[in-house]
Amino acid sequence: MRFLRTAVVLIGSASVFAGSAMARDDGRYANSPLKSWFDSLKSGKGPCCSDADGSAVSDVDWESKDGHYRVRLEGQWIDVPDDAVITEPNRVGRAMVWPIKGSYGISIRCFLPGSMT
């Protein structure tokens, strides 16, 4: 019985810490002058969250072809749905993507094209 209680406590503690580790918006961008702009970004799929939830994409990991975008994430090229593209001007210059990982793979909620400089 003691072993069972100890196991339950350890598993419960591990799940609390794992949940904390997965949370991304830890306040480190709270003082950024672009925070409110990032928080306001949205695509046709809805709000993109904030800078803490998005990931910068290197110029070699995204491209435009025939008016459509695609990004390379985790070693695979993923087509960006047209309604996921953020159409307002990019204030940071670099491309950013807000991926969603699900049981069917990775989908793109928002994509902010970069300047490719």
Q: Give pLDDT tens digits for 59-111.
A: 999 999 888 999 999 999 999 999 999 999 999 899 999 999 889 999 999 99
Cβ atoms of residues 75 and 117 within 8 Å: no
Q: Is residue 8 part of a domain?
A: no
What is the number of H-type helices and E-type strands within the chain? Answer: 2, 8
Q: Is residue 77 part of a domain?
A: yes
CATH number at residue 62: 2.40.50
Could you list the residue range(s) of the whole structural domain that residue 92 is in? 34-112
Q: Is residue 82 part of a domain?
A: yes
Q: Is residue 83 part of a domain?
A: yes
Q: Give pLDDT tens digits for 2-33.
A: 544 444 334 444 433 333 333 345 566 678 88
Q: Is the pLDDT of residue 53 over 60?
A: yes
At residue 50, the pLDDT reads 64
- The number of folded domains in the chain is 1
